[in-house]
Amino acid sequence: MLITMPRQKRLRRMVNPPQFAGFHPVGGGSEQQPVLIPYEEYEAIRLCDYDLLGQAEASVIMGVSRPTFTRIYESARRNVAEAFVLCRPIVFEGGKVYFDSDWFHCSDCRCWFNHPLKAEAVAECPLCGGSKVEVCDVIPIDKEEEQVSYEYCYCEKCGFEKPHRHGQPCRNEICPTCGVQMRRKGS
Amino acid sequence: MKVAITSSGNSLDSKLDQRFGRCSFFVIYDIESKGFEVIPNPARDAQEGAGPAAVQLVASKGVSKIVSGEFGVKIKPILDSLQIQLIVLKDSEKTINDVIEMLNH
């Protein structure tokens, strides 16, 4: 009998991991089996329920597809609900994640850089020495001058349009004006 | 302090290579001594794992920063743990000399 394994999970990008290990219920329940919440589920709750981002935006930050993000988020909510109702402690553990340090952008030389020596503050750009640096969570990963086609991605909500990039599905694009998922024009 | 710059050619007039793992050459520039070294990238033709192999190469040269156009997702955690700073410069027209000039601010 041939048993095949499911495909390897793509690593989820963790920007802000929790600084603590979990939660204990007050007034009982601590001796129960803890609910294990993987790091990506914590991050999903942080992005959607605390930062109040849409799931499409959050999936881009995490570096996964929108349906994958939804699955992670739903699982997170289910785990939290189980801990609440059954009075079980929560422990943050595991998950297929990689930890990303903060990214910064320099407006002088237009470069992006990270900051592995987290203890020191970021004062100037490591490339040009300029002081116009700011935190930025996501680097645009595609150049605008890629294959030009005469197709467009458009936003149903506000009508914003942009040229469609070959190989990048319109449904993976986010409208820069209103933050909703875009679609192929004419679809 | 040493900086690795991905290069499409083996001279200082060559353009910045927009990829890290599969770039043609690395220019290792020493900010203090202003000296530099050009090394070809053996990981360029590797089928898999070009990024991590390139990281080993530049780490062995003792660099603390890397300048390139783009970095793959596999190498970010490795470079984080090695405490090597990544600098992304998405400009395919910049030459190695331009980058060195910026570094000498």
Summarize pLDDT for B22-69 with one digit per residue, the tens: 888 999 999 889 888 999 988 888 877 888 888 988 899 999 999 998
Q: Is the pLDDT of residue A69 over 60?
A: yes
Helix residue ranges per DSSP H, B21-63: 50-60
- What angle (nearest 5°) sits at the alpha carbon of residue A41, between those of residues A37 and A46? 120
- Please state, in angstroms and rounded to a whole number, the distance separating the CA atoms of residues A171 and B82: 37
Binned at pLDDT 50, 70 and 90, residue A67 comes out as: very high
- Please state, in angstroms and rounded to a whole number, the distance separating the CA atoms of residues B102 and B18: 17
**B67 CB near a chain A CB, below 8 Å?**
yes
Question: How much is the pLDDT for A146?
Answer: 45
Q: Is A99 in Cβ contact with B87 (below 8 Å)?
A: no
Question: How much is the pLDDT for A37?
Answer: 94
Question: How much is the pLDDT for A137?
Answer: 63
Q: Are A125 and A111 in contact (CB under 8 A)?
A: yes
Q: Is A115 in Cβ contact with B85 (below 8 Å)?
A: yes
Question: How much is the pLDDT for A9?
Answer: 82
Q: What is the amino acid identity at position A182?
A: M
Tokens of A2: 């041939």
* pTM of the full structure: 0.58
Q: Is A128 in Cβ contact with B102 (below 8 Å)?
A: yes
Residue in B84, B88, B105 nearest the CB of A128: B105
Q: Is the pLDDT of residue A165 over 60?
A: yes
Overall average pLDDT of the A22-37 stretch: 87
Question: How much is the pLDDT for B4?
Answer: 92
Reported as type and span, the H/E element at residue B28 is: strand B25-30
Q: Is the pLDDT of residue A32 over 70?
A: yes
Q: In angstroms, what CA-CA distances link A58 with A165, A183, A184, B55?
A: 21, 18, 21, 29
Q: Are B93 and A143 in contact (CB under 8 A)?
A: no
Overall average pLDDT of the A134-139 stretch: 70
Report the range of poorest mean pLDDT among A39-43, A70-74, A166-170, B99-103.
A166-170
Q: Is the pLDDT of residue A25 over 50?
A: yes
Question: How much is the pLDDT for A77?
Answer: 97
A88 alpha-carbon distance from chain centroid: 27
User: Minimal Cα distance from A143: which residue of B?
Assistant: B90
Residue A46 to chain B, least CA–CA distance (Å)? 21
Question: How much is the pLDDT for A1?
Answer: 67
Cα separation of the two ends of chain B: 14
Q: Is the pLDDT of residue A87 over 50?
A: yes
Report the range of poorest mean pLDDT among A3-12, A41-50, A65-74.
A3-12
Residue B19 to chain A, least CA–CA distance (Å)? 12
- Please state, in angstroms and rounded to a whole number, the distance separating the CA atoms of residues B41 and B23: 7
CB-neighbour burial class of residue A184 (10 A; exposed 0-12, middle 13-18, buried 19+):
middle
Q: Is the pLDDT of residue A74 over 90?
A: yes
Q: Is B90 in Cβ contact with A110 (below 8 Å)?
A: yes
